[in-house]
Amino acid sequence: MPYDFQPSWLNEELTTYKETVERFLDTEMVPFDEESRQRGHVGHEIWRRAGEIGILCTDIPVKYGGGGGDFRHEAILYEAMGHRGLTGMSPSVHSIVAHYLLNHGTEEQRQYYLPQLARGELVGAIAMSEPDAGSDLRGIRTKATARDNEFFLNGSKTFITNGYLAELVLVFARIETHEDSGKFSVFIIETKKHTGYSVGNRLKKIGLKAQDTSELFFDNINLSANHILGGTPGRGLSQIMADLPYERLLIADMAMGAMEGAYKLTVDYVRNRKVFGEPLINKQNSRFVLANMVTTLKVARAFVDDCINKILCGTLDTETASAAKLWLTQQQNLLVDECVQLHGGYGFMDEYLIGRMFADARVQRIYGGTDEIMKEIISRKI
Ligand SMILES: Cc1cc2nc3c(=O)[nH]c(=O)nc-3n(C[C@H](O)[C@H](O)[C@H](O)COP(=O)(O)OP(=O)(O)OC[C@H]3O[C@@H](n4cnc5c(N)ncnc54)[C@H](O)[C@@H]3O)c2cc1C
């Protein structure tokens, strides 16, 4: 039996769900991936379709229109996308938006937005980073000036995933009152409903070509307290902190899927590629490199599954989730690099999936908190 790195938590119900996800990806995403890469986004239709077949917001309760599942359902989608090198749609960012609303929104906000996110009618994005503030979020300049019972939002954000297609954006902003500008809130912006909201260019990236990453601009957008996540101003920072373990585990799990996909592609390649009159896999070096990958994948699977079990029990802490993000995304970069090497010159060609996986891997160590920020967090408890 060849190695497989099946999750330890996969049961019959999840296997059936996995088949649905894989069918959707193979028939409705893979064939259009190149088109999306050329265009720089996947289009709204695919989001609506994903909502229709029930693969968005799978870990959101049924009463809010979600799938009523848990993190394992989410993981199935991210890993299946990773296996196929699909990075165009970012359901993980969409899920993060849904979790902010679920965990910190008012009941009214949950009931109104969550079903629309689950149906894919609203594409979600989260806007924290700015040209001059990424790791140091306290340094953001986007501000919501309070006047009577209203807020006026001004500023800009950059690097926003799903930013071009987004219809619901959570914007992290500084609250400015007469007395104080030291507090933050997350504002809920329905992009089509506000004057003063605009989207800049889709940013040109060295990877994730099918994923829309954009700048966003806010010009005096008029908002009320109803647009504040949770309804009360000043809670933004603690809301963001509370959801970090979930976000970091998502990225670690995406790394897991991508590594498995890259390994499998490479095993196929070295079996078929002939060098010096024999298959490349016959060379001891190829087998040793692959053996190292198998070892990494087994360790990675054990770590990520342990984190998934912990998140299911509510015991995943920020340090462990940060360690998972740090280690798995670093391993992803090392492993995919070895895969490219075994592909030789073809590994550097854009038309070869492994080359794209190589380019896509790099940012995993940057977004959602850089390696260095993960180390800062982990080291706090030493
Ligand atoms: C493709 C892509 C998608 C993204 N999607 C989103 C999104 O959807 N929403 C969003 O809000 N943001 C998003 N980002 C932004 C991303 O989260 C930031 O790029 C990231 O947090 C780093 O911030 P920065 O780019 O400003 O780098 P900086 O913070 O300027 O960091 C530069 C370097 O300094 C290091 N550094 C910073 N602080 C410290 C420290 N205390 N100690 C040691 N070293 C340090 C960093 O690790 C890094 O190596 C995305 C970015 C990319 C590239």
The pLDDT of residue 45: 97
What does the pLDDT average to over 93-119?
98
Confidence of residue 105 (pLDDT cuts 50, 70, 90): very high
Output the residue whose Cα is nearest ligand 1's atom 7.
Answer: 160
Q: What's the burial of 277, exposed, middle or buried (CB within 10 Å: 0-12/13-18/19+)? A: exposed
Check residue 48 and report its DSSP letter. Answer: H
Instruction: Quote the CA–CA distance of 67 and 13 in Å, as a whole number.
Output: 13
Instruction: Quote the CA–CA distance of 64 and 62 in Å, as a whole number.
Output: 5
C-alpha closest to that of 14 among 102, 94, 75, 61: 75
* Catalytic site residue from 176, 215, 247, 338: 247
Q: What is the mean pLDDT of the chain?
A: 96
Whether pLDDT at 100 is above 70:
yes
Atom of ligand 1 nearest to the CA of 133: 26
For residue 71, CA distances in Å to 15, 38, 201 come to 14, 32, 33
Question: pLDDT (tens digit, 9 = 90+) per residue, 210-228?
Answer: 999 999 999 999 999 999 9
The pLDDT of residue 315: 97
For residue 132, CA distances in Å to 101, 137, 186 come to 27, 9, 19
What is the distance, to the nearest Å, from the Cα of residue 360 to the centroid of all Cα atoms in its chain?
12
Catalytic, 19? Answer: no
**Prediction pTM value:** 0.97
What does the pLDDT average to over 53-77?
98
Output the residue whose Cα is nearest ligand 1's atom 30.
Answer: 134
Whether pLDDT at 293 is above 80:
yes
Give phi and psi for 108, each to the nearest 5: -60, -45
Whether pLDDT at 150 is above 70:
yes
Whether pLDDT at 41 is above 80:
yes
Whether pLDDT at 180 is above 90:
no
Question: pLDDT (tens digit, 9 = 90+) per residue, 248-264?
Answer: 999 999 999 999 999 99
The pLDDT of residue 291: 98
Instruction: Quote the CA–CA distance of 97 and 113 in Å, as a whole number.
Output: 10
Name the residue of 248, 326, 370 whose CB sits within 8 Å of the most ligand 1 atoms, as the mutation to test its pocket.
370
- Decide: 360 and 210 in contact? Cβ < 8 Å: no
Question: pLDDT (tens digit, 9 = 90+) per residue, 194-212?
Answer: 999 999 989 999 999 999 9
Q: Which residues have CB under 6 Å of ligand 1?
A: 93, 126-129, 134-135, 159-161, 205, 208, 213, 363, 366-367, 369-370, 372-373, 376
Residue ranges and CATH numbers for the domains of the chain are 12-122 (1.10.540.10), 125-234 (2.40.110.10), 243-379 (1.20.140.10)
